[in-house]
A and B are shown apart, each in its own frame.
Chain A
Amino acid sequence: MFSGLITLLQYFVTRKTVLFVFVLGVLVVLSSLSLYALSYVKTLSRVYDVFYPPDPTAVATIVVSSDALSPFTSIVDARSIEEKLSSFNNIRVRSILVTVGLIDSRPVVVYATDYANSTCAYASKNLLEAGSFLIGDFIAVQSPFTGEILVLRICGEGDKPGISVSYENAVKLRGVKQGYYSFVVVYVYSEDMVDKVFSVLVPRPRDDYTERLIRRAFLLLTRRGEDVEVAHAETPTEIYLAKLGIHREYIVYLAYAVGVATLASLPLMSIGVVLHLESRLRTLISMGASRGVILASLLVYFLIAVAVSVALSSLFFHLGLAPPLVFLDHEIPLTVGIREVITVAIVNCTLLSVGVFTGLRRLES
């Protein structure tokens, strides 16, 4: 039986090379589109993460932010947090101000940096490449909060998304007083400090908070009266999306639903192949070839096609050929994880097998 299977496979792949290449082509395109959708939706759910600088050496990272729908509208009094934590060592406090401004009525991310002076703005590579302005040009950045217009000169290329301006200018655009930031990131470098830092930041913490804090990357703490509710999140963006009622599970469901729906018509593909090989298959059956061997060889044929196509699609993403996600003029490269690749491969195999079974049943009847 095994030698029969190999002979048939050899025949399908070598004698019908054009058909195999065609099947492979369709599978590569559909798998890539499916993986793109999966990865796009997942990346969209992490769109704000770029604003939260990670520190791999820290034992715990605590982000203090206000109750807001995006990091652009959150306001935190950095001084009060610094005062609370002034007696601690082995920690580092970093305050970040990020907001949105309008350039020609288009929203762009505005980032407060140390290196910009009061008349300079540094545009990201993407903004400069978009070509709406050049280094040395004046740009008018409008605050959507106060209506204030800041005319700034583009002094160079910045390393942050959107445009980087001085803290004073960012404060004017955000329409808040000096000393306020979007969020404060507290990096804790020793495990025994986490407990203490946390108890200073969150009054009346319950015992299990600290344990969860160490275990989970991000916590969503919501104050309801005296109590503080805790939920975990994998990325900072999730915390904002959760406030809109969009939880991680829904995003994952949506991503997989779109990814699977892209492949939903695949049974037709294997039916088409069986149809194409019909006369050959009939001859083989009349020559006494076992149906089991034909079925197995067709299944292995598609298994090989799926393996090759999924590998090629993953390579396409791995080489960075997939167009990145662009949000408010900053680019986030799309990546695919092994879980998504395996899912797409399994869905491909299942749907193609359904087609093979249906095709062969029709053939027999």
Chain B
Amino acid sequence: MDNLHLISAIMVSVLRKKTYLYLLIALTSPLLLSTVLLSMPSLSMFLEVMSQRVSPGTMSLLVRSSASLGDCYPVELLGTITLNNTELPVLVVPVDVFLENLFEFKEVSYTSDFTSLPQEVYEELQVESVLLNGYTRRVSHVHRGINAVIVLGEVSTESDTKLCRVSTSHVLKEALFFVESSLIEVSKRWLLLVLLAHTPLVYVAVLKARRALEEEFNALHNLGVSRGKILLGFSLVMLFVCVIVSVFIVSMSVVIVNSVHKFTSLYWFTPQPYTRSVLFYYVAGSVILVFASSLVAGFKKHV
């Protein structure tokens, strides 16, 4: 009997004795939960759809990270200066940055050194000059948008503080993605534990399947097929059955999720569910679990 015949013989027995039902019971819970929880509506995707309706805008963002967010310039925050009991941080911006792009400036006096104060502070305190590093600097500009004194100077390109010009929708998307990803992270960890907790149940399902096929295995053994070959054939069939069962559960779950969404959207607005690709790993995990369990169950002499 060649290998293909052996596998098809075991496959036919599995289908005839409906042993795939045990696998279906064991895997429904982890895979249904994985599909449903990993299909939660994506807030950032939702914003992408919404942002097509609003006019695009940009905003300046002062960040402390190495990640690039758009047009970024390294800047430095150099301590504070005190003006009439008001403490103001000092932001050093490299000379080659085109500041007009980042903040709204207004010239108040002509001087060779660029020193800009927040407009509110300038109007409230009426200061003409500031003391910085022991030097008195005349205020040349006022600006809006940041509560810091802006001066031009040398900034190391290694500085991890960056001033970026980013589109508003991008910033909002990042923020929503952060909220969403914390939920997804918790779900992912919880689902992994659920899948692992199902290992004994998957093992019992495979053991039941193996037990139901005992007669067939004996018959095959009597035909001269080695036990090892039967065991491998059984494990491969279980792997194949598991793939079919998993795909069935996942697709049914996707249908359920989308039907619930369609039904609820008849009555009120619900964002579109979005199935994340990470689900693939959970399906792969359960397939590996079944294959490993089949091998272990096969080694058991008396079942």
Contacts and interface: CB of A to CB of B under 8 A. Distances in A.
> What range describes how many residues of B lie at the interface?
35 or more
Interface residues of A, number: 48
Interface stretch (B25-33, B93-101, B133-141, B234-242): B25-33
B65 A104 contact: yes
Contacts of B257: none
Interface stretch (A146-154, A181-189, A286-294): A146-154
A326 B182 contact: yes
A269 interface: yes
B146 A148 contact: yes
B270 A245 contact: yes
A27 B22 CA distance: 19
A37 interface: yes
Contact of B89 (A40, A138, A262, A265): A138
Given A36-B190, A40-B186, A275-B207, A261 B32 contact: yes
A133 B61 CA distance: 17
B152 interface: no
A100 B171 CA distance: 13
A151 B146 contact: yes
The dominant DSSP class at the B interface is helix
A149 B28 contact: no
A142 interface: yes
A150 B88 CA distance: 10
Contacts, number: 141
B29 A105 contact: no
A344 B147 CA distance: 54
Nearest to A267: B25
A106 B33 contact: no
A274 to B, nearest CB: 10
A272 B60 contact: no
A265 B145 contact: no
A263 B63 CA distance: 45
Nearest to B87: A119
Interface stretch (B9-17, B192-200, B223-231): B192-200
A149 B194 contact: no
Contacts of A315: none
B207 A272 contact: yes
B172 interface: yes
A50 interface: no
A267 B205 CA distance: 10
A147 B60 contact: yes
A262 B179 contact: no
Nearest to B211: A275
B248 interface: no
Interface string B54-87: 0000011111110001000000010010000011
A262 B29 contact: yes
B36 to A, nearest CB: 8
A140 interface: yes
Interface string A47-75: 00000000000000000000000000000
